Structures are given as C-alpha cells and as structure tokens.
Structure 1
Amino acid sequence: MTDSHENAGFRRLFGGDELTVGTGFPLTGDAESRPPVERETELIEHAESLGYAGLWARDVPLYWPRFGDAGQTFDPWTWLSHAAAHSTDIALGTASVVLPLRHPLHVAKQAASLDRLSEGRFVMGVATGDRDPEFPAFGVDNDDRGELFRESVDALRACWREEYPDHSGSWGHLDGELDVVPKPTAETVPLLPTGNARQSVEWLGEHGDGWLFYHLPMDTLESYLADWRDAAGEKPYAMAMQVALADDPTADPTPVHQGYRAGSEWFVQYLRDLDALGVDHLLVSTPGDDPERELTRFAEQVIERV
C-alpha cells in the first residue's frame, strides 16, 4: 500500500510543478534573545499575505552561546500552534525536530496534535542535531544519533498509521493496549529528513517523504539532486539558504553565510535555475533591520517574477 502523507501543508509546498518559497522564524531576525511576539505575529500574517508558501521553525532545545543563536527561542510545538492560530493556509514546518533528544511518543502526539489544530498544514523536518553539549545534557550518547533517528522514524510511523500499535525500541515498548491520539489528518505527518541525518541517501529516499538540505554550490547541488532522484524518484527536494537583496537590482552575487547577497535580477535567474534543476521548495531567510520591508522586497522583486 502506498503511504498517504500528502496533507494540506505538503500540497501547499510541493503540490504544483513550480518552485515554491517559504521563510523561517524568527522573522524579526532576533535569534539570540526572545523575539518580540507581537511583531513576529504581525510578520506571520504579512508573509502569508505576500504569498510565501511556508513558515519554518527550528528546534533548539538548549541555548549554547558559542553556537551563536537560540533559534526562535520558543518551543517549536508551542510556537507553530501560535502561528497556526494567526494564519489560514500557509504551510507550517519544523527545520528541524532533533529526534534523538525527544521521546518519539511525545513527538508523535505533539506532531499529530499540531497537524490537527492547523487543519493539516504541518510538515515535519527531522534531524539528528548538531550542538554537541545538548547530548550529555539529555543523557544521550552522541554516537547513537543515527540509530536513535531511525528508531524514532519507525516509531512515529507506527503510532500514526496504527491503532493500538505493538512496537518496541530503546525508548520503550507499546504492547497493543495503548494508543497515541489524535491521529494526523493524513496517514502520517510528512517527514523530511534534514541534511544527511547520519543515514545513506538510499535510506533517506526510502523512509523520507522528501529531503530538506542546506545551501550548496550549484555543481554540488546538481550531484546531490541526481543521487536523490536515483534513491527517491519524484519525492520533493527542499533547500534552505540566506538571501540578502541588494539595493542595486543588477548587483552581482557575493557570498554570505549559507547564501548570497545579490541584486534582484541575479536572484530571479538563480531561482529559475533551481526550478529547472528540480528543487521543489526554497526556504529563505531575509536578514535586515526592517524585516517587513525585506520580506516584501524579495516577494515582489524576485518570487513574483519567477
């Protein structure tokens, strides 16, 4: 039987033939202290009005100053529930839930609850984590990340697909007398492994509903896409990057962390090239002192022309 994972959020991001563009929290760009809730909420509504396809929240359980950011500070489940209450049809995603640091039964219930409360708009990026001090804080062996990730994915699928599942792992045992409710709006919440997640691309292609990766140089991206298509067929590929729109529309690109600063003309062609290569969704962050202006400029000067 073919798994049905195409909820409303998945269709919003990947249901058409063209590249879609989303953006990520904190929309105010304040990633080292608590972002202002009222301003973030205004920007949620603004991003949706501009036609962005998705809003993505990172999972950062503990703040490590050396790493340089605290994500959007708020727990992603709580924050995306808030975003769901202040939006209508934009997809809501995690980029990404650190599965080895969370009990899969909690994740199964939280994800299905968010999916139900948002009327099926939730898409879950999942990852193994990259902040080393978090693992001893949670009593998790760093070297076990890959195995714990696989166990969690199997447990999540079982909890969502089955009533009263009989399923075991290092996390515990369900003996068929307990159920995880609610169930999601589709057969399973869509899962997008992020990065390599300490797995082979073949495993990712078989077990994921898509792949979320970081910004890559164009020639490297072509190679990754070719490997992904060999492993996963037509399952979607999403990419996250930072974009800084120069005032001069003809400005050539210069590298910034995980992306580029460039004029709108270059970005229009770049997104067209991504579309032609087979990238299905682009998650952009738009840094600047005026986040509403930057979201608007990128939507009007780039996305609408692609």
Structure 2
Amino acid sequence: MADGHENAGYRRLFSGDGMTFGTGFPLTGTNRSTPSIDDELRLAAHAEAVGFDGLWARDVPTYWPKFGDAGQTFDTWPWLSHVAAHTDDIALGTSSIVLTLRHPLHVAKAAATVDRLSDGRLVLGVASGDRDPEYPAFDVDREERGALFREHVAALRTVWRDDFPELEGQWGRLDGDLDVVPTPTTETLPLLPTGHARQSHEWIAEHGDGWLFYHLPERTLESYLADWREAAGEKPFAIAVRVELADDPTADPEPLHLGFHAGIEWFREYFTRLEEYGVDHAIVGIRNDDREAALSTFADEIIDRL
C-alpha cells in the first residue's frame, strides 16, 4: 500500500495493509433525474457507519440520453461539500473530474475549497472525457483531449504548490500577479488519472498519485497491474465494479455491464482474488433495490472478512 501522500482521504484509502472499499453516488440509483437528497445522505452515512472507506461522486457536466445517465445529477463540488458536512472522516472522491471540459483555475479553487471544508478528505479522480457531444458544447477540440489533460494536470500542480505562479497554456496565462486561493490542506491534492486519459502508462505513473480504472476481465486486470507495478512501483491501483447481490448467497456469477450479479459467497472469492492481484481500492456500485441492506450485507460478508 502507498503511504507517500499526507492527504487524509488518500491515507484513508491507501495506507492500510489490505484492499479498501468505497461506493459511488447516486446511492439511491436515481441517475437520470434528481435523486432524493435525504435518501442519498442517509445512505452515505450508513456506508460510512458499516465500514466503507470512500464515497465517490462522478462528474457529468451534461445529460446525454444516448449515454444513459447523468451521474448523481448535482454538480460535483457543492455536492461533495454537502456530503462532507453530513459525514465524519470517510474519504470523498471524484470519479472523475473531466479536466478537458473545466478550466483548471476553477478546478483548483473548487477542489481546494472542498478539501478544506472536509478537513483534507478529497481525492481527485481526473479524466479526459468520453461523451462526444460535450466537446462542441464547451468549445473544446476533441482531438486535443490528450494535450489538454496534460496541461491541466500541470496547471493544477503548479497553482496548488506555488504562490503567484507564472504559467501559460491553452487555457490562459498567469503572469505572477495573481494567486489562487484557498490552497489544499496538503501541498497538492492526490490525482488519480482514470482509464487511459489519452496518456501512456509511463506518463500516468510519473504524474499521477495512483490509477483509477473500470471493471476489467481478470486476466486483463492482472496484465494491467503487472504493467502498472513495473511503471509506478507501489502507487495505488483502484477499480470500479458494479455489484448486484443475488438472493441466493451461493449463486454463480452472471455478467452485468461493468460488473456482476452473483451470490455473496462468489463476490467474497472474487474480491479476495482482486486483493491478491494487487488492487488497492474497489469502488462498489451496488445495484440492489434495497441499497441499505445490500451495503450492510457487503460490509458484513466482505469488508469485515477481508
């Protein structure tokens, strides 16, 4: 496990001896319209109480019906600030901020604000985006995603670290007469590039504080982890998996998009294997109708036992 970052959220997720677990908004499953705020907060507090280590919010700037969902609907920054006020010390993550569609100075200020309001619990998954109509909507050249992503990561690191920085990119220019405040609780916020983000393994290993990926077949996952360890050493690897618990605890797995429907016994074996492969954190997207009961069952039968 990694221990090289002082951010409280990062340490909550990655400084222990075994794999940790998080879960993602919308916890109620309402991802095409506004979910119940009270229900979301109740489930967030429940997830923290039963032993989950992270709560993750997706960044979906616009709703594209063809893609299928609008994330948790609410904008990431005010939503995570609200969640921070209703939880205690669980890590708060983004999965992931679409850097190419957001001005890096806005991201730097908003993220540092949430980090301060949450006493250092914010961990940033960052992405290059994958919803084609959003690029013209934001007047961004889709073909420039890779270069923009690198520029924005560099801008974030610089304005968090340096006072009155001098910096220039396609996003604009700082001449040393402006500062971006507040700063995070630590020198920089942890950044986890998501998917390939139009970058090489080597670039992600050098510039990221970890790597966040989607559900992968196990053989592919093993291969990715081997490449990651060679490039990044002990920097953490996190994965998102959709989970639907069968009524029968012994039920065999059936594939879902980016996950499985299976009995709890199979899931226990599955996540044990993922831990043995070297996965450091799993974001579990619970799909059951009774989310509170499913979160409790997952915590009792898998988190506590692992």
Q: TM-score, normalised by structure 1?
A: 0.98
Superposed, 1:71-150 pairs within 5 Å as 71-150=71-150
Give 1:80 shift.
0.3
* Residues 236-258 of structure 1: per-residue CA shift (max 9 Å, x gap): 00000101111211111111110
Matched, 1:212 2:227: no
Give 1:5 shift.
3.7
Matched, 1:258 2:258: yes
* Residues 272-306 of structure 1: per-residue CA shift (max 9 Å, x gap): 11111110000011112211111111111222122
Q: TM-score, normalised by structure 2?
A: 0.98
Aligned to 2:59: 59
**Distance in 2 of aligned mates of 1:123 and 1:5:** 11
Runs of 4+ in 1 over 3 A off after TM superposition: none
Higher deviation after alignment, 290-299 or 12-21: 290-299
**Distance in 1 of aligned mates of 2:6 and 2:191:** 10
Aligned to 1:290: 290
* Residues 11-52 of structure 1: per-residue CA shift (max 9 Å, x gap): 000011200000000000010110001111111111110110
The alignment yields a C-alpha RMSD, in angstroms, of 1.1
Aligned to 1:243: 243
Q: Is the 8 A contact 2:245 2:288 kept in 1?
A: no
Q: Percent identity?
A: 66
**Distance in 1 of aligned mates of 2:75 and 2:56:** 13
Q: Is the 8 A contact 1:6 1:190 kept in 2?
A: no
Q: Is the 8 A contact 1:4 1:188 kept in 2?
A: no
Q: For 1:164, what is the secondary structure of its paired residue?
A: coil
**Distance in 1 of aligned mates of 2:245 and 2:287:** 9
Q: Is the 8 A contact 2:5 2:11 kept in 1?
A: no
Q: Is the 8 A contact 1:4 1:186 kept in 2?
A: no
Identify if the C-alpha distance between structure 1 residues 176 and 4 changes in structure 2 by more than 3 Å, giving closer, same or farther.
farther
Matched residue type, 1:271: F
Q: Which stretches in structure 1 are left out of the alignment for 5+ residues?
A: none
Give 1:268 shift.
1.0
Superposed, 1:158-177 pairs within 5 Å as 158-177=158-177
Q: Is the 8 A contact 2:22 2:53 kept in 1?
A: yes
Q: For 1:67, what is the secondary structure of its paired residue?
A: coil
Q: Is the 8 A contact 1:114 1:122 kept in 2?
A: yes
